[in-house]
Amino acid sequence: MRLTVLGCGDAFGNGARNNSAFLLSDENEHVLVDCGATTLIRLKHESIALEDISTIIISHFHGDHYGGIPFFLISSLFEETRKSPLTIVGPANIKEKIFQLQEAMYAGTGEKLDQLDITYLEYGRDPIEFADKKLIAKPVEHSPPSIPHGVRLEWKNKVFAFSGDTSWTDNLLELSAGAHLFICECNFLHEQAFGHLCYDELVERKDQLMCENVWLSHMGTEMLNQEISVFNKLTDGMKIEF
């Protein structure tokens, strides 16, 4: 399995980093975890055909995490007409949220989404199983109206975990347990504030994280400028085999 970091930035583009978007790939298929506003540009930079992306998983309803979906869909409608099915998974009312965003960004195109073969799946208490994948989503601590979740994807005998945006919650331990790769947000260096994690707090809890590799994402300026000795920092364009 390979991870391509399309974007690992925060909402403000600190460090000139793109919005949250992580591409998981095997030899035949791509799965997109988050689809921030800059995602289509980054996919084109990596020469990834949208047709080859089978699934989009959305952590929560903030623009730097799902604001790229209208660009993805208009390209699929008008640029290179998509023929293959697409599964979009996310928090409650994801179909309605995507329609509303589509209309807000490109008025009149919402109704055209019916031309695409899209299956919408919502997070719930039970794991979501589709095709050869198993997805577990757990609520996390971020802006409540955004319906924030962290996710754990089990696919092809590999486990990928993603915190989404959150302050500390023990749900992160369950999501990341035994993961081959865990991407965890780390917005701050020292400051502890609701909705985001800080590096000091993660270092204190490192022995609780029972996973193989922890990579930090969604870093603010102070974190980006700080040399660290525990965990690893993601950068846009990075590719990780796991």
Q: Which residue of the set 10, 34, 64, 236 is catalytic?
A: 64
- Mean pLDDT (whole number) for 25-48: 97
Q: How does DSSP assign 177-230, residue by residue? A: TT-SEEEEE--BSS--BTTB-BHHHHHHTGGG--SS-EEEES--HHHHHS--SS
In tens, the pLDDT along 84-121 reads: 999 999 999 999 999 999 999 999 999 999 999 999 99
**Cα 205 from Cα 211, distance rounded (Å):** 12
**Cα 86 from Cα 89, distance rounded (Å):** 10
- Mean pLDDT (whole number) for 26-49: 97
Greater model confidence, 171 or 80: 171
- What is the share, in percent, of the chain residues with pLDDT greater than 70? 100
pLDDT of residue 59: 98
In tens, the pLDDT along 53-69 reads: 999 999 999 999 999 99
Tokens of 241: 């085999």
pLDDT of residue 234: 98
In this structure, what CATH number is given to the domain that contains residue 127?
Answer: 3.60.15.10
- Mean pLDDT (whole number) for 38-48: 98
In tens, the pLDDT along 133-156 reads: 999 999 999 999 999 999 999 999
Instruction: Measure the CA angle with vertex 127, ends 20 and 133; round to 5°.
Output: 70
**Domain count for the chain:** 1
3-state secondary structure (DSSP) of residue 124: coil
- Give the domain range for residue 56: 2-241
pLDDT of residue 87: 98
In tens, the pLDDT along 151-208 reads: 999 999 999 999 999 999 999 999 999 999 999 999 999 999 999 999 999 999 999 9
Say what the pTM is.
Answer: 0.97
Tokens of 6: 């399309």
Q: Is residue 64 among the annotated active site residues?
A: yes
